[in-house]
Structure 1
Amino acid sequence: MAESLLGAETSRNSTVLKRYDPHAISRYYRWRPWKVLWRSLQVAVMFAWFVGSIQLDKILNRTERNLPLRAMQLRKLLTNLGPTFIKIGQALSTRPDLVRQDYLEQLTLLQDQLPPFPTQEAFAIIERELNCIVEDAFQEISPKPVAAASLGQVYKGRLYNGQAVAIKVQRPNLEKKLTLDLFIIRHVVKLIGPWLPINLSHDLRTIVDEFGTKLFEEIDYHNEGLNAEQFARNFRDSLEVKVPAIYWKYSSRSVLTLEWIDGFKLSATQCILDANLESDNLIRIGVESGLRQLLEFGFFHADPHPGNLFVMPDGRMAYIDFGMMDQLNQETKETLVDALVHLVNKDYERLAQDFVRLGFLTPDTDITPIVPALECVFADVVGSSVGEFNFKIATDRFSDLMFQYPFRIPAKFALIIRSLVTQEGVALCLNPNFKIVEVSYPYIAKRLLTEESPAFRRRLIEVLFKDGKFQWERLENMIAIARSDKSFDLVPTAQMGLQYLFSEESQFLRRQIVLALTEDDRLHTTEVQRLWALIQPDLHPSKLVNAAFGALADFSGGVVANLTPWAAPQSASKPADAREPQMAGSKRL
């Protein structure tokens, strides 16, 4: 690997490093101390001034008073140090377990904007990467970049078939700059750590390595194109989410040509309002698409800041920039649902166990003192209904908890948290009364009510029973919330529920329902009547009979038909035909 790094210096076509490898980088720069020394001197001078200012504040006893000023100075310092440090600052802005709240707020404002590099140089990169002159590849191309960021810049162009495209060109010599900076940061981070407002209960080199891995994935435009196509396949059944097409003939590892998206950045809230677009619908699309990525596909956009989300004139939401993506395995997806269920149930002991399973706490952590702390953080935040939940308040309080207990946010969850906080912040600009759980819970409720897997059935039962007692209000709320989603159909859901209720697997549930109807030495007719009044509009008698016989037919096969010949034609033909597409639809949730 060191040889390939050396080859990059003598050949313009060589790649410095295709994936992040701290050991290969270390071997390479060990023999080039002059490069390390010069860059280290630049970084050291700028940080020395900043650290000196913090120490002076301590001496003069003005640390707390000057915290906002120092936080702002840190943001500007990272911006001036260039692409690697801008990205480091953005990564730290997602780590409440590492950075105290004062600095965190400033780092979240860190802008990913740099002056563009010369167009002549950008065009030379395009020609080298595509092995043709610019005029042969593009019928039109803008003389100046339409956007410039820390890692590359974008031109607007047009192919010879008339398709408008965005041409993304990587900054020259970017990999060598990143490897040098990451090498320096990794080796001095322990030295400067005590002077920074960072929780050092974890090895910061591990954090740097996690970041370096994602950064090198981001600068591989071929990888980004593949990510975009996978994302598009996941949302192929959605009419509300747009993913730009990739034009591989005009793309490489350092140049990416993709479909041009017309619209407004999600950050341009006033433009969205002026265009008379339905802000509440945009919020719903954003939240639901985010939940589908996390809980359904497990493949999620890891950098969904407002600049990477576009609102199109027809009301669709377009995702762009797929350089930073991440994957959740099935166990993690299921644990996330468990954590949500335990949060709704206010079962903080099991919520703490979920944090262990998700990697927020090590397996040997004593969760006994953490359980009451979680209750203090979430008890009044959750409120009396899911609609009162405020994610930003919850994360702010959880950030404080990070400094008291041995929490560590895994890199992918740091990205998820930043995504949710950003999404909530943008939504609040569009609708000051927005509550993220109020919008997301219909999706969760619908999945709990319609998912056929045993794991989801167990979670539904866990929600509906607490301390052995049936939670009538939770069932009513869940059905009411799920019905707020226009695509939710209660009939196939009822049919699945009946099928499960009649199955051998649900013997315990049948006993619990009987107890629920008669608990506290009274017949719970009032609750049943209230529940019936809620669902009656969706359950016409004919539909309900069909659903019931369909469930019985699946449970007992031909027995039902033999015992009830007068109902045989109805249960044997019509429900079977009608049931099939409904069940297929429910499986897609």
Structure 2
Amino acid sequence: MVLLARQLGPELRHYDAKAIARYYRSRPLLLIGRALTIAWMLGTFWLRLRLDARRGLENPHRNTRARELREILTHLGPTFIKVGQALSTRPDLVRRDFLEELVKLQDQLPPFDNHRAWATIQQELGRPVREIYHEISPQPVAAASLGQVYRAVLKTGDTVAVKVQRPQLVPRLTLDLCLMRWAAGAFGKLLPLNLGHDLRAIVDEFGNKLFEEIDYLNEGRNAEKFAANFRDDPTVKVPSIFWRYSSRRVLTLEWIDGYKLTDTEQIRAANLDENALVEIGVVAGLRQLLEHGFFHADPHPGNLFAMPDGRVAYVDFGMMDQLDEPTKETLASAIVHLVNRDYLNVALDFITLGFLTPEVQVEAVVPALERAFDNALGESVRDFNFKSITDDFSVLMYDYPFRIPAKFALIIRSLVTQEGLALSLNPDFKIVEVAYPYVTRRLLQGESSEMRRRLVEVLFKNGKFQWQRLENMLAIARMSSSSSQASFDLLPTARLGLQYLLSDEGRYLRHQVVLALVEDDRLHTEEVGRLWELVKDDLAPRRLMDYALASLRELSTESAIKTAAVS
């Protein structure tokens, strides 16, 4: 295996499917031996399941079989443990008894020997352990698929978490990824799913993320970027990185005292507000996807902690991903279109996002979306849940030209995981009750020209102004169920809206608003009256005067600066 590192050289720093395939193509015995091991362990497990079904012993043997599956994945090593972790967040694919065992793969794995960990630290940091730390825990406090964590105190007195990578990771990962990619090409077409692209693309995405995850310097940079995004959010905590004591295979970061979000007993014993923790987690997840575009792709229970002061702490930033601005904006409008049951625009959003090809006949897909999403939404928005969506979409993808872009596999995993975490704290939680107010506020605030365009699309349907939709959006945007989501202030939004209306960009909207007021040959005074009842408290004369004076002062300052610049 040392030869692997020498032959691939610098390419080992990044996933390279072709280079890995070239290496193992000339070493078929390695591939055959590993393939036989995997086939034997998973094949005999499948046979035991079939025998249980034939003998009517499924229920008595459920816990035993679930434990066996976890042990098999653990024995097969890091790559299969990561697959098991991904499945542990998918209650739509894995039955409950198996799910409970797979969750243990997140941070209840057997550790590797301390001597090997100390050797890695010395090799990576250039000094023996005793010269770096005042003290270090005699055993790891957590062991995961790719490394294990020790609690330590530096000579400086700082309490830290020391993350040490498992030995020989690259040879293990590349061998399994090579086999997975071959299996995806050979058997992917036999699966009853229309993925819209080669299943090998999903394996490649998985491989890319694994290689990013085993580079701890990359993880440290991710953590600092994530912390910068949430620097103004007092509800989210990100540990600091100690760069002097970090390398590609050793990461030292601030120690976090807290409770796993699934540890409801300790959370209640600490008198923490479970609903507030749920909302912090969901809003933070939405901000990552729709505001920052940089999101934590592995938010499982071992990576999120409730702190004694009520904050939610994120750890483990190895698996992250980035969304571009158009994708963020399309996601925001898609959520509003979905909640408004505007399935034609949902289909158009899906084309933009890559779930449907541009050649698809949208009118033929809309009835399928109606069936799937009406079931997921239930009788009201409150009944929406991602489990129903994933269940129904597995049918849709078989009958219609839907596909899952590789990037969205991580987003879907992240959303389903967050919903599962929220449900563990509050079984009655409905993700849309938090998500929709947040998205509505983002649209109404119209911070960019694209967001304003999306808002116009939402408020007009078939050329007609949707009075009820605007009324619903304003009412929902002002909802505030906890301190973690600040109440909606209409005045700044009204100011932005007025500036937009008076600008060249807002010429079309000015025309449409005038038409809306006299639509259907009548003045829409009743609708305007309802809107006024919603907003009149925010537009009290004293507040309007104070805000106008502040805006005038700001405008005068800007004018003075421009005048000085010209002169």
TM-score, normalising length from structure 2?
0.87
- After superposition, the C-alpha distances for 1:373-420 in whole angstroms (9 at most, x for unaligned) are 111011243356543422332232223322323333223212222222
SS at match of 1:167: strand
Worse overlay, 444-453 or 396-405? 396-405
Is 1:400 the counterpart of 2:379 in the alignment?
Answer: no
Change in 2 beyond 3 A, CA 1:389/1:579: farther
SS at match of 1:437: helix
Change in 2 beyond 3 A, CA 1:355/1:53: farther
- After superposition, the C-alpha distances for 1:267-305 in whole angstroms (9 at most, x for unaligned) are 212211221111222122111111111111111101011
SS at match of 2:518: helix
Is 1:168 the counterpart of 2:153 in the alignment?
Answer: no
Conservation of the 8 A alpha-carbon contact between 1:93 and 1:104: no
Worse overlay, 302-311 or 79-88? 79-88
Is 1:183 the counterpart of 2:178 in the alignment?
Answer: yes
Structure 1 CA distance, aligned partners of 2:256 and 2:478?
A: 33
> Over aligned residue pairs, what C-alpha RMSD do you find?
3.5
Query: How far apart are 1:41 and its partner, in Å?
Result: 2.5
TM-score, normalising length from structure 1?
0.84
Change in 2 beyond 3 A, CA 1:233/1:6: closer
Structure 2 CA distance, aligned partners of 1:135 and 1:540?
A: 66
Query: How far apart are 1:477 and its partner, in Å?
Result: 2.4
Report 1:296-315 matches (<5 A): 296-315=291-310
Query: How far apart are 1:242 and its partner, in Å?
Result: 0.8
Worse overlay, 286-295 or 185-194? 185-194
Change in 2 beyond 3 A, CA 1:360/1:544: same
Change in 2 beyond 3 A, CA 1:104/1:353: farther
Query: How far apart are 1:192 and its partner, in Å?
Result: 5.8
Query: How far apart are 1:49 and its partner, in Å?
Result: 2.2
Counterpart for residue 515 of structure 1: 515
Query: How far apart are 1:326 and its partner, in Å?
Result: 0.3
Structure 2 CA distance, aligned partners of 1:43 and 1:76?
A: 13
Worse overlay, 355-364 or 44-53? 44-53
Report 1:318-329 matches (<5 A): 318-329=313-324
Is 1:285 the counterpart of 2:280 in the alignment?
Answer: yes
Structure 2 CA distance, aligned partners of 1:517 and 1:281?
A: 41
The amino acid of 1:31's aligned partner reads: S
Structure 1 CA distance, aligned partners of 2:63 and 2:192?
A: 14
Structure 1 CA distance, aligned partners of 2:189 and 2:52?
A: 16
Structure 2 CA distance, aligned partners of 1:367 and 1:533?
A: 39
User: Which residue, 35, 43, 49 being the options, matches 1:48?
Assistant: 43
- After superposition, the C-alpha distances for 1:39-97 in whole angstroms (9 at most, x for unaligned) are 23322222332455678799x7999999989994655543332211121334466789x
Structure 2 CA distance, aligned partners of 1:430 and 1:94?
A: 15
Is 1:532 the counterpart of 2:532 in the alignment?
Answer: yes
Number of residue pairs the alignment of both structures matches = 550
Query: How far apart are 1:32 and its partner, in Å?
Result: 3.0
The amino acid of 1:401's aligned partner reads: L
Conservation of the 8 A alpha-carbon contact between 1:94 and 1:417: no
Structure 2 CA distance, aligned partners of 1:311 and 1:159?
A: 25
Structure 2 CA distance, aligned partners of 1:345 and 1:182?
A: 42
Structure 2 CA distance, aligned partners of 1:32 and 1:418?
A: 35
The amino acid of 1:32's aligned partner reads: R
Worse overlay, 315-324 or 401-410? 401-410
Conservation of the 8 A alpha-carbon contact between 1:443 and 1:482: yes
Counterpart for residue 111 of structure 2: 116
Structure 2 alignment gaps of length 5 or more: 481-485, 560-567
Is 1:269 the counterpart of 2:264 in the alignment?
Answer: yes
Change in 2 beyond 3 A, CA 1:504/1:223: closer
Structure 1 CA distance, aligned partners of 2:276 and 2:134?
A: 37
Change in 2 beyond 3 A, CA 1:573/1:466: closer
Conservation of the 8 A alpha-carbon contact between 1:169 and 1:255: yes
Conservation of the 8 A alpha-carbon contact between 2:194 and 2:403: no
The amino acid of 1:165's aligned partner reads: V
Is 1:468 the counterpart of 2:463 in the alignment?
Answer: yes
Query: How far apart are 1:170 and its partner, in Å?
Result: 0.6
Counterpart for residue 213 of structure 1: 208
Counterpart for residue 558 of structure 1: none
The amino acid of 1:372's aligned partner reads: P
The amino acid of 1:576's aligned partner reads: L
Query: How far apart are 1:21 and its partner, in Å?
Result: 1.0
The amino acid of 1:120's aligned partner reads: H
Structure 1 CA distance, aligned partners of 2:391 and 2:299?
A: 20
Change in 2 beyond 3 A, CA 1:20/1:94: farther
Query: How far apart are 1:173 and its partner, in Å?
Result: 0.7
Report 1:303-452 matches (<5 A): 303-383=298-378, 385-452=380-447
Query: How far apart are 1:487 and its partner, in Å?
Result: 4.7
Is 1:82 the counterpart of 2:77 in the alignment?
Answer: yes
Counterpart for residue 256 of structure 1: 251
- After superposition, the C-alpha distances for 1:5-56 in whole angstroms (9 at most, x for unaligned) are 35389xxxx8882111122112222333333333233222223324556787
Change in 2 beyond 3 A, CA 1:70/1:155: closer
Structure 2 CA distance, aligned partners of 1:63 and 1:475?
A: 57
Conservation of the 8 A alpha-carbon contact between 1:94 and 1:414: no
The amino acid of 2:555's aligned partner reads: A
SS at match of 2:239: coil
Percent of matched pairs sharing the same residue: 59
Change in 2 beyond 3 A, CA 1:263/1:182: same
Structure 2 CA distance, aligned partners of 1:189 and 1:412?
A: 18
Is 1:576 the counterpart of 2:562 in the alignment?
Answer: no
Query: How far apart are 1:427 and its partner, in Å?
Result: 1.7
Conservation of the 8 A alpha-carbon contact between 2:49 and 2:58: no
SS at match of 2:161: strand
Change in 2 beyond 3 A, CA 1:208/1:503: closer
Counterpart for residue 21 of structure 2: 26
Change in 2 beyond 3 A, CA 1:70/1:373: farther
- After superposition, the C-alpha distances for 1:475-496 in whole angstroms (9 at most, x for unaligned) are 2222222223435321121122
- After superposition, the C-alpha distances for 1:139-179 in whole angstroms (9 at most, x for unaligned) are 11000000111111110001112111000011111111111
Counterpart for residue 503 of structure 2: 503
Counterpart for residue 584 of structure 1: none
Query: How far apart are 1:135 and its partner, in Å?
Result: 1.0
Query: How far apart are 1:367 and its partner, in Å?
Result: 4.1
SS at match of 2:13: coil
Structure 2 CA distance, aligned partners of 1:399 and 1:70?
A: 29
Conservation of the 8 A alpha-carbon contact between 1:267 and 1:306: yes
SS at match of 2:257: coil
Counterpart for residue 555 of structure 1: none
Conservation of the 8 A alpha-carbon contact between 2:140 and 2:151: yes
Conservation of the 8 A alpha-carbon contact between 1:145 and 1:156: yes
Change in 2 beyond 3 A, CA 1:161/1:325: same
Query: How far apart are 1:108 and its partner, in Å?
Result: 8.3
Structure 2 CA distance, aligned partners of 1:463 and 1:106?
A: 42
SS at match of 1:165: strand
Conservation of the 8 A alpha-carbon contact between 1:166 and 1:257: yes
Change in 2 beyond 3 A, CA 1:493/1:191: closer
Counterpart for residue 150 of structure 1: 145
Change in 2 beyond 3 A, CA 1:469/1:190: closer
- After superposition, the C-alpha distances for 1:178-207 in whole angstroms (9 at most, x for unaligned) are 112222232244556688787787533222
